Amino acid sequence: MSRISIYDTTLRDGSQGEGVNFSLQDKLLLTRRLDDIGVDYIEGGYPLSNPKDFEYFQAVRELSLKHAKVCAFGMTRRKNAPAETDTCLKALLDAHTPVVTIVGKTWDFHVTNVLGTTLEENVAMIADSVAFCKSQGREVFYDAEHFFDGYRANPEYALKTLQAAANAGASVVILCDTNGGTMPERVAEVVKTVKAALTCEVGIHCHNDCELAVANTLAAVSAGATQAQGTMNGIGERCGNVDLVSVIANLALKYGRDVLKPGSLTRLTETSRYVYEVANLNHRNGQPFVGQSAFAHKGGMHTHAVAKDPTTYEHVTPEAVGNERRILVSELSGHSTILTKTAKYQMNHDKALMTKILTAVQDLENKGYEFEAAEASFDLLVRKVAKDHKPWEVDKTLTLYKPWFERVTYRVNIEARENGTPITEATVRIKVAGVIEHTASEGDGPVNALDGALRKALVRFFPRLEEMQLVDYKVRVVNPKEGTAARVRVVIESRDGDAVWGTVGVSENIIEASWLALCDSIEYKLFKDAEQGK
């Protein structure tokens, strides 16, 4: 089983994506995490581009990486100037990385119209730059920018630039589909031609402008490429780079290729989500292999089959990449979905109860509820329905519903002052253990204030609520034709030290919908802790 080396350029090419801005500390944290799973090469940036990249190459030397080699990225020497005095090449060498990656022009159009030099001088720039860095004890990779476009326009010249890099000492020549417009069959054809013309290794670097970056990378590997370049989660300029997450998973699980460190594939989901968090980007639920929805099943026929044998609707096991299977509850659900979702409560023998739960779900969804992202609210619904259905027959693993507190009243006041930020205050009166609690709290907005007042009233009775926090809040209009009188659905995501859960509330009043979702979130936390003996 031949190894395909993984070259990660998240820290450079990925940072060129819209909305992406890594701090120095972010780059060091990502470097350590990528090294932990066995990425072979980590491109840290261009030392001359900005002070942060310069500082990175100094700081990264202190990390004591166990596997990965850090690469400094830069351009060929300037036209009509010696390599020995070139400031870019000097900066690459001063980064003191074991590998330097040099990018050069392959497309004759770019040479004459962008660089403004002759085709012969461009070949000399490539050869001189590679040879100089090689003579200073560095391993050199050569990135052939716009290679596939250049090869289409002038195949003889494009190959000549690659041969110049290889003959000068480059250990890998990387073919770049910089514009992201090449088709997979063309990639495979060209890679085979290049392999036959060169003595060094060949790599592939694809962009995703036609959403073919993964297919193109796999085609290149099948044709003989031994290095795959890309970014985690495919972040990058325009439509992004190839997603290394999908490349790694496909190479390992579909082609049986050796990638990463042994046992690291099961950390792929964790690593993908870590990169999203550090980059402050929203996760892509539908992302293959690692997305939250990658192994989510909703339709009744699907869930029924998956309950019998997951291979009926899953091409790999979610555990193989560190993900998990999710059974979604919706109005499309059948008895099989409810049976699967309630398996942990050991109630599957009671078909009448399953019917009641399914009916309750469908009735609520008809009013605008959705439980796909609100499984904690579904959990509470099961407890409520089971409470009224022969509770003596329900398995003891399920704590039947009881109200932990009762609402008496709440009020939210927003005061807009002249030339100032509006001030929001919420007042809550609830009954807890027979005691009326009356509290108030200010907040950044009505929901924040309401959440603060509610917790203030409850925390004396349930101290563990201190560790719970709201991490997301979404509002969706259910029946927009009603205008300002439309019903709204509020979905809240909450978290404590060991779990994340979602709850939902629906009402014509956005504050009431928020209150319902908040109460579900707190009640789920209290049930969860009670069943865990906390």
Look at 345 and 141; give whichever has higher pLDDT.
Answer: 141
- Closest by alpha carbon to 267, among 44, 70, 40, 33? 33
Query: Crossing angle of helices 375-387/351-366, nearest 10°?
Result: 130
| Dist. CA 448–CA 395, nearest whole Å | 38
Looking at residue 346, its pLDDT comes to 60
Look at 484 and 191; give whichever has higher pLDDT.
Answer: 191
CATH number of 346-397+468-534: 3.30.160.340
Q: How confident is the model at residue 392 (pLDDT cuts 50, 70, 90)?
A: very low
Q: How far from 347 is each of 383, 396, 463, 502, CA to CA, in Å? A: 11, 10, 32, 23
Look at 366 and 123; give whichever has higher pLDDT.
Answer: 123
Question: How high is the mean pLDDT of the chain?
Answer: 89
Task: Report the percentage of the chain scoring pLDDT > 70.
Answer: 91
Residue 432 has pLDDT above 50, yes or no: yes
Q: What's the CATH number of domain 405-461, 3.30.70.3280, 3.30.160.740, 3.40.1710.10, 2.40.30.10?
A: 3.30.160.740
Q: How confident is the model at residue 398 (pLDDT cuts 50, 70, 90)?
A: low
**Averaged pLDDT, 409-420:** 84
Residue 396 has pLDDT above 70, yes or no: no
| Dist. CA 173–CA 198, nearest whole Å | 9
pLDDT tens, residue by residue, 174-202: 999 999 999 999 999 999 999 999 999 99
Residue 335 has pLDDT above 70, yes or no: no
Looking at residue 330, its pLDDT comes to 58
Q: How confident is the model at residue 344 (pLDDT cuts 50, 70, 90)?
A: low
Separation of first and last alpha carbons in the chain: 49
Whether residue 397 contacts residue 344, with contact meaning beta carbons closer than 8 Å, is answered with yes
Q: What is the pTM of this model?
A: 0.71
pLDDT tens, residue by residue, 289-316: 999 889 887 766 776 677 778 888 889 9
Residue 336 has pLDDT above 60, yes or no: no
pLDDT tens, residue by residue, 62-121: 999 999 999 999 999 999 999 999 999 999 999 999 999 999 999 999 999 999 999 999
Q: How confident is the model at residue 342 (pLDDT cuts 50, 70, 90)?
A: low
Please identify, in words, the CATH class of the domain defined by 5-261: alpha beta
pLDDT tens, residue by residue, 367-376: 888 876 788 8
Q: How confident is the model at residue 334 (pLDDT cuts 50, 70, 90)?
A: low
| Dist. CA 88–CA 85, nearest whole Å | 9
Q: Which long-range contacts (CB under 8 A, 24 or more apart) does 275-284 make?
A: 275/10, 275/30, 275/33, 275/232, 275/233, 275/235, 276/233, 278/22, 278/26, 278/29, 278/30, 279/14, 279/20, 279/22, 279/26, 279/235, 280/19, 281/19, 281/20, 281/233, 281/235, 284/233
Looking at residue 416, its pLDDT comes to 81
pLDDT tens, residue by residue, 444-472: 888 899 999 999 999 999 999 999 988 88
Q: Which of 41-55, 160-174, 222-236, 368-382 has the lowest mean pLDDT?
A: 368-382
Where do the CATH 3.20.20.70 domains begin and end in the chain? 5-261
Residue 391 has pLDDT above 90, yes or no: no
SS3 of 317-361: the string is: CHHHHCCCCEECCCCCCCHHHHHHHCHHHCCCCCHHHHHHHHHHH
SS3 of 45-60: the string is: ECCCCCHHHHHHHHHH
**Averaged pLDDT, 243-265:** 96
**Averaged pLDDT, 341-349:** 61
Looking at residue 483, its pLDDT comes to 62
Task: Report the percentage of the chain scoring pLDDT > 90.
Answer: 65
Where do the CATH 3.30.160.340 domains begin and end in the chain? 346-397+468-534
| Dist. CA 440–CA 388, nearest whole Å | 35
Residue 10 has pLDDT above 80, yes or no: yes
